[in-house]
Amino acid sequence: MSNPHVQDSAFWEAAIEHYHWDRLEAAYAAIQQRGVGEAGTYIRWYRLIEAEALSRRRSKRTKVNSWLTFECIPEDALRDESDLIAAAVEACDSIAERLGWSHSAPTLISVLAEEVDAPWATNPYGYYVSKELYEKICLPAYLVEDREELSEAVAHEYAHVISETASDGMSPAWLSEAVSVIAEGSPDPEALRILADGAWLKPEDLELTLDGRYDESNQREVWLAYQQCGTVGRYLSSLKGEPKLLDLMREHTNESVWRNLWLSLRGKSRVDGAVEAIYGMSVRELHERAHEWLRVQEAPKP
Ligand SMILES: [Zn+2]
Protein backbone atom coordinates (compact mmCIF):
# COMPACT_ATOMS: atom_id res chain seq x y z
CA MET A 1 0.00 0.00 0.00
CA SER A 2 1.25 3.49 -0.75
CA ASN A 3 1.91 5.88 2.06
CA PRO A 4 -0.90 8.49 2.14
CA HIS A 5 1.50 11.17 3.45
CA VAL A 6 3.84 10.71 0.52
CA GLN A 7 0.87 10.91 -1.85
CA ASP A 8 -0.34 14.01 -0.10
CA SER A 9 2.98 15.81 -0.31
CA ALA A 10 3.42 14.91 -4.01
CA PHE A 11 -0.05 16.27 -4.69
CA TRP A 12 0.69 19.54 -2.91
CA GLU A 13 4.08 19.84 -4.55
CA ALA A 14 2.36 19.77 -7.94
CA ALA A 15 -0.19 22.41 -6.88
CA ILE A 16 2.55 24.63 -5.42
CA GLU A 17 4.57 24.25 -8.63
CA HIS A 18 1.59 25.68 -10.58
CA TYR A 19 1.36 28.44 -7.99
CA HIS A 20 5.02 29.37 -8.51
CA TRP A 21 4.41 29.71 -12.24
CA ASP A 22 1.35 31.82 -11.35
CA ARG A 23 -0.85 29.26 -13.12
CA LEU A 24 -3.49 29.99 -10.56
CA GLU A 25 -6.47 28.36 -12.25
CA ALA A 26 -4.56 25.06 -12.55
CA ALA A 27 -3.34 25.28 -8.96
CA TYR A 28 -6.84 26.07 -7.73
CA ALA A 29 -8.47 23.29 -9.77
CA ALA A 30 -5.99 20.83 -8.25
CA ILE A 31 -6.55 21.82 -4.63
CA GLN A 32 -10.31 21.94 -5.00
CA GLN A 33 -10.30 18.19 -5.60
CA ARG A 34 -9.23 17.83 -1.99
CA GLY A 35 -11.20 20.66 -0.47
CA VAL A 36 -10.25 22.95 2.35
CA GLY A 37 -11.18 20.36 4.96
CA GLU A 38 -8.44 18.07 3.76
CA ALA A 39 -5.79 20.75 3.41
CA GLY A 40 -4.49 20.03 6.94
CA THR A 41 -0.96 21.35 7.29
CA TYR A 42 -1.29 22.92 3.85
CA ILE A 43 -4.15 25.17 4.89
CA ARG A 44 -2.03 28.27 4.44
CA TRP A 45 -1.17 27.23 0.88
CA TYR A 46 -4.82 26.49 0.25
CA ARG A 47 -5.86 30.01 1.28
CA LEU A 48 -3.05 31.62 -0.68
CA ILE A 49 -3.85 29.79 -3.90
CA GLU A 50 -7.57 30.35 -3.48
CA ALA A 51 -7.16 34.08 -2.86
CA GLU A 52 -4.88 34.69 -5.82
CA ALA A 53 -6.90 32.44 -8.17
CA LEU A 54 -10.28 34.02 -7.34
CA SER A 55 -8.78 37.49 -7.73
CA ARG A 56 -7.23 36.60 -11.10
CA ARG A 57 -10.62 35.53 -12.48
CA ARG A 58 -12.08 39.02 -12.25
CA SER A 59 -9.01 41.15 -12.60
CA LYS A 60 -7.57 43.26 -15.35
CA ARG A 61 -3.84 43.47 -16.00
CA THR A 62 -2.15 46.64 -17.21
CA LYS A 63 1.40 46.63 -18.51
CA VAL A 64 2.71 49.84 -16.97
CA ASN A 65 6.29 49.93 -18.24
CA SER A 66 9.19 47.61 -19.10
CA TRP A 67 9.36 46.09 -15.62
CA LEU A 68 5.98 46.66 -13.97
CA THR A 69 2.55 45.13 -14.53
CA PHE A 70 -0.42 46.10 -12.38
CA GLU A 71 -3.39 43.85 -11.72
CA CYS A 72 -6.62 44.81 -10.00
CA ILE A 73 -10.35 44.28 -10.20
CA PRO A 74 -11.75 47.43 -11.83
CA GLU A 75 -15.06 47.34 -9.87
CA ASP A 76 -13.16 47.03 -6.58
CA ALA A 77 -10.75 49.83 -7.37
CA LEU A 78 -13.37 52.49 -6.41
CA ARG A 79 -12.02 54.86 -9.02
CA ASP A 80 -9.97 54.87 -12.16
CA GLU A 81 -7.12 52.42 -11.59
CA SER A 82 -4.68 54.82 -13.24
CA ASP A 83 -4.62 56.68 -9.94
CA LEU A 84 -3.60 53.49 -8.09
CA ILE A 85 -0.97 52.73 -10.71
CA ALA A 86 0.49 56.22 -10.38
CA ALA A 87 0.71 55.82 -6.59
CA ALA A 88 2.37 52.41 -6.94
CA VAL A 89 4.94 53.61 -9.48
CA GLU A 90 5.77 56.62 -7.34
CA ALA A 91 6.33 54.39 -4.29
CA CYS A 92 8.60 52.01 -6.26
CA ASP A 93 10.55 54.88 -7.82
CA SER A 94 11.04 56.55 -4.48
CA ILE A 95 12.57 53.56 -2.67
CA ALA A 96 14.61 52.61 -5.76
CA GLU A 97 16.07 56.10 -5.82
CA ARG A 98 16.84 56.05 -2.08
CA LEU A 99 18.75 52.79 -2.45
CA GLY A 100 20.35 53.64 -5.81
CA TRP A 101 18.57 50.75 -7.52
CA SER A 102 17.71 50.62 -11.24
CA HIS A 103 14.44 48.79 -11.82
CA SER A 104 15.15 45.49 -13.52
CA ALA A 105 13.27 42.53 -12.06
CA PRO A 106 9.91 42.02 -13.81
CA THR A 107 7.31 42.78 -11.13
CA LEU A 108 3.58 42.20 -10.89
CA ILE A 109 1.62 44.19 -8.32
CA SER A 110 -1.72 42.53 -7.70
CA VAL A 111 -4.55 43.99 -5.60
CA LEU A 112 -6.54 40.99 -4.45
CA ALA A 113 -10.33 40.76 -4.50
CA GLU A 114 -12.28 42.24 -1.59
CA GLU A 115 -13.91 38.93 -0.69
CA VAL A 116 -10.62 37.04 -0.28
CA ASP A 117 -9.41 38.28 3.04
CA ALA A 118 -8.12 34.93 4.26
CA PRO A 119 -4.37 35.22 3.60
CA TRP A 120 -4.30 38.47 5.54
CA ALA A 121 -4.48 36.46 8.72
CA THR A 122 -0.79 35.76 8.14
CA ASN A 123 0.17 38.81 6.07
CA PRO A 124 -2.18 41.64 7.04
CA TYR A 125 -0.54 44.37 4.96
CA GLY A 126 0.38 42.43 1.86
CA TYR A 127 3.08 39.99 0.87
CA TYR A 128 5.69 39.31 -1.71
CA VAL A 129 6.43 36.03 -3.52
CA SER A 130 9.28 35.42 -5.93
CA LYS A 131 7.57 33.53 -8.77
CA GLU A 132 9.21 31.98 -11.82
CA LEU A 133 8.25 34.67 -14.32
CA TYR A 134 8.17 37.72 -12.10
CA GLU A 135 8.29 39.03 -8.57
CA LYS A 136 4.70 39.23 -7.35
CA ILE A 137 3.42 41.68 -4.75
CA CYS A 138 -0.08 40.99 -3.42
CA LEU A 139 -1.98 43.69 -1.59
CA PRO A 140 -5.26 43.55 0.34
CA ALA A 141 -8.17 45.34 -1.33
CA TYR A 142 -8.80 47.75 1.55
CA LEU A 143 -5.55 49.56 0.73
CA VAL A 144 -7.08 51.15 -2.38
CA GLU A 145 -9.11 53.39 -0.09
CA ASP A 146 -6.07 55.08 1.35
CA ARG A 147 -3.36 56.31 -0.97
CA GLU A 148 -0.84 56.79 1.83
CA GLU A 149 -1.30 53.27 3.18
CA LEU A 150 -1.13 51.88 -0.35
CA SER A 151 2.16 53.70 -0.96
CA GLU A 152 3.66 52.44 2.30
CA ALA A 153 2.67 48.85 1.54
CA VAL A 154 4.05 49.03 -2.01
CA ALA A 155 7.30 50.61 -0.79
CA HIS A 156 7.69 47.85 1.84
CA GLU A 157 7.04 45.00 -0.59
CA TYR A 158 9.00 46.50 -3.46
CA ALA A 159 11.99 46.90 -1.12
CA HIS A 160 11.72 43.11 -0.68
CA VAL A 161 11.88 42.72 -4.46
CA ILE A 162 15.07 44.82 -4.46
CA SER A 163 16.64 42.95 -1.51
CA GLU A 164 15.76 39.56 -2.91
CA THR A 165 17.06 40.39 -6.38
CA ALA A 166 20.28 42.01 -5.12
CA SER A 167 21.10 39.23 -2.64
CA ASP A 168 19.85 36.46 -4.90
CA GLY A 169 17.49 35.40 -2.12
CA MET A 170 20.35 34.77 0.32
CA SER A 171 19.79 37.50 2.90
CA PRO A 172 18.03 36.52 6.13
CA ALA A 173 14.50 37.75 6.84
CA TRP A 174 15.64 40.23 9.53
CA LEU A 175 17.85 42.04 7.04
CA SER A 176 15.30 42.07 4.25
CA GLU A 177 12.75 43.44 6.75
CA ALA A 178 15.29 46.02 7.93
CA VAL A 179 15.32 47.49 4.43
CA SER A 180 11.56 47.09 3.90
CA VAL A 181 10.55 48.68 7.20
CA ILE A 182 12.67 51.79 6.56
CA ALA A 183 11.18 51.94 3.05
CA GLU A 184 7.72 52.45 4.59
CA GLY A 185 8.60 55.74 6.26
CA SER A 186 8.77 56.97 9.83
CA PRO A 187 9.10 54.52 12.70
CA ASP A 188 6.45 54.02 15.36
CA PRO A 189 7.49 56.14 18.40
CA GLU A 190 5.74 53.86 20.87
CA ALA A 191 7.58 50.79 19.56
CA LEU A 192 10.90 52.62 19.80
CA ARG A 193 10.33 53.41 23.46
CA ILE A 194 9.44 49.79 24.21
CA LEU A 195 12.47 48.48 22.30
CA ALA A 196 14.82 50.97 23.94
CA ASP A 197 13.59 49.80 27.35
CA GLY A 198 14.69 46.27 26.65
CA ALA A 199 12.28 44.20 24.53
CA TRP A 200 15.13 43.59 22.08
CA LEU A 201 15.62 40.16 20.51
CA LYS A 202 18.87 38.45 19.59
CA PRO A 203 19.27 38.06 15.81
CA GLU A 204 18.40 34.34 15.89
CA ASP A 205 15.24 34.96 17.97
CA LEU A 206 14.30 37.85 15.73
CA GLU A 207 14.56 35.54 12.72
CA LEU A 208 12.36 32.93 14.42
CA THR A 209 9.70 35.51 15.26
CA LEU A 210 9.62 36.72 11.64
CA ASP A 211 9.41 33.16 10.34
CA GLY A 212 6.55 32.26 12.62
CA ARG A 213 2.88 32.64 11.91
CA TYR A 214 1.11 35.86 12.63
CA ASP A 215 -2.07 35.61 14.65
CA GLU A 216 -3.90 37.47 17.36
CA SER A 217 -1.85 35.88 20.13
CA ASN A 218 1.51 37.20 18.93
CA GLN A 219 0.48 40.45 17.23
CA ARG A 220 2.46 42.63 19.63
CA GLU A 221 5.56 40.47 19.46
CA VAL A 222 5.55 40.49 15.65
CA TRP A 223 4.93 44.25 15.53
CA LEU A 224 7.95 44.82 17.81
CA ALA A 225 10.09 42.43 15.77
CA TYR A 226 9.40 44.44 12.59
CA GLN A 227 10.17 47.67 14.41
CA GLN A 228 13.42 46.16 15.67
CA CYS A 229 14.38 45.31 12.08
CA GLY A 230 13.56 48.89 11.09
CA THR A 231 15.84 50.17 13.88
CA VAL A 232 18.70 48.00 12.60
CA GLY A 233 18.05 49.38 9.09
CA ARG A 234 18.09 52.97 10.30
CA TYR A 235 21.23 52.35 12.34
CA LEU A 236 23.02 50.93 9.27
CA SER A 237 21.81 53.91 7.21
CA SER A 238 23.14 56.29 9.87
CA LEU A 239 26.59 54.73 9.46
CA LYS A 240 27.02 54.74 5.68
CA GLY A 241 23.81 55.98 4.07
CA GLU A 242 20.92 54.05 2.53
CA PRO A 243 22.59 53.06 -0.80
CA LYS A 244 25.19 51.09 1.17
CA LEU A 245 22.35 48.70 2.15
CA LEU A 246 22.29 47.63 -1.46
CA ASP A 247 26.03 46.83 -1.36
CA LEU A 248 25.32 44.79 1.76
CA MET A 249 22.62 42.83 -0.09
CA ARG A 250 24.86 42.27 -3.11
CA GLU A 251 27.73 41.09 -0.90
CA HIS A 252 25.65 37.97 -0.07
CA THR A 253 26.25 36.77 -3.62
CA ASN A 254 30.04 36.96 -3.26
CA GLU A 255 31.12 33.60 -4.67
CA SER A 256 34.77 33.81 -3.72
CA VAL A 257 35.67 30.22 -2.90
CA TRP A 258 38.33 31.18 -0.39
CA ARG A 259 36.12 33.61 1.44
CA ASN A 260 33.21 31.17 1.66
CA LEU A 261 35.55 28.44 2.86
CA TRP A 262 36.94 30.82 5.49
CA LEU A 263 33.39 31.67 6.61
CA SER A 264 32.31 28.05 6.83
CA LEU A 265 35.43 27.10 8.81
CA ARG A 266 34.46 29.70 11.39
CA GLY A 267 30.83 28.50 11.37
CA LYS A 268 29.69 31.77 9.74
CA SER A 269 27.01 32.30 7.15
CA ARG A 270 26.86 34.63 4.16
CA VAL A 271 25.17 37.39 6.12
CA ASP A 272 28.02 37.30 8.67
CA GLY A 273 30.49 37.67 5.82
CA ALA A 274 28.48 40.46 4.18
CA VAL A 275 28.03 42.52 7.37
CA GLU A 276 31.71 42.07 8.19
CA ALA A 277 32.82 43.07 4.68
CA ILE A 278 30.64 46.19 4.41
CA TYR A 279 30.38 47.40 8.02
CA GLY A 280 33.38 45.77 9.70
CA MET A 281 31.45 44.11 12.53
CA SER A 282 29.73 40.84 13.31
CA VAL A 283 25.97 40.38 13.08
CA ARG A 284 25.78 40.14 16.86
CA GLU A 285 27.73 43.39 17.27
CA LEU A 286 25.51 45.06 14.71
CA HIS A 287 22.37 44.18 16.66
CA GLU A 288 23.90 45.21 19.98
CA ARG A 289 25.15 48.51 18.60
CA ALA A 290 21.81 49.26 16.96
CA HIS A 291 20.12 48.74 20.35
CA GLU A 292 22.63 51.01 22.07
CA TRP A 293 22.14 53.64 19.35
CA LEU A 294 18.38 53.49 19.93
CA ARG A 295 18.78 53.79 23.72
CA VAL A 296 20.86 56.95 23.31
CA GLN A 297 18.26 58.43 20.98
CA GLU A 298 15.38 57.56 23.26
CA ALA A 299 17.09 58.68 26.48
CA PRO A 300 15.33 61.61 28.18
CA LYS A 301 16.94 64.87 27.08
CA PRO A 302 18.27 67.06 29.91
ZN1 LIG B 1 8.21 42.50 4.92
Could you count the other beta carbons within 10 Å of the beta carbon of residue 218?
Answer: 13
Determine how β-strand 107-111 pairs with β-strand 68-72: parallel
In this prediction, residue 117 carries a pLDDT of: 61
In this prediction, residue 155 carries a pLDDT of: 97
Domain 59-165: which CATH number of 2.60.40, 2.60.120, 3.30.2010, 2.170.220: 3.30.2010
Over residues 47-97, the pLDDT tens digits come to: 899 999 999 999 999 999 999 999 999 887 766 788 899 999 999 999 999
Instruction: Quote the ligand 1 centre to 207 CA distance (angstroms).
Output: 12
Contact 182, 228 (CB under 8 A): no
Instruction: Quote the ligand 1 centre to 70 CA distance (angstroms).
Output: 20
Query: Measuring CA to CA, how many Å separate 155 from each of 32, 56, 182, 278?
Result: 34, 23, 9, 24
Q: Which regions of the chain are under pLDDT 70?
A: 1-7, 78-79, 117-124, 213-216, 302
In this prediction, residue 294 carries a pLDDT of: 96
Instruction: Quote the ligand 1 centre to 224 CA distance (angstroms).
Output: 13
In this prediction, residue 98 carries a pLDDT of: 98
CA 295 to CA 192: how far, in whole Å? 9
Instruction: Quote the ligand 1 centre to 209 CA distance (angstroms).
Output: 13
In this prediction, residue 274 carries a pLDDT of: 94
Q: What residue segments make up the domains of the chain, in order of their start?
A: 1-54, 59-165, 173-298
In this prediction, residue 95 carries a pLDDT of: 98
Instruction: Quote the ligand 1 centre to 137 CA distance (angstroms).
Output: 11
In this prediction, residue 60 carries a pLDDT of: 93
Instruction: Quote the ligand 1 centre to 6 CA distance (angstroms).
Output: 32
CA 74 to CA 90: how far, in whole Å? 20
Instruction: Quote the ligand 1 centre to 160 CA distance (angstroms).
Output: 7
Instruction: Quote the ligand 1 centre to 283 CA distance (angstroms).
Output: 20
Residues with CB under 5 A from ligand 1 (ion): 177, 180
In this prediction, residue 1 carries a pLDDT of: 43
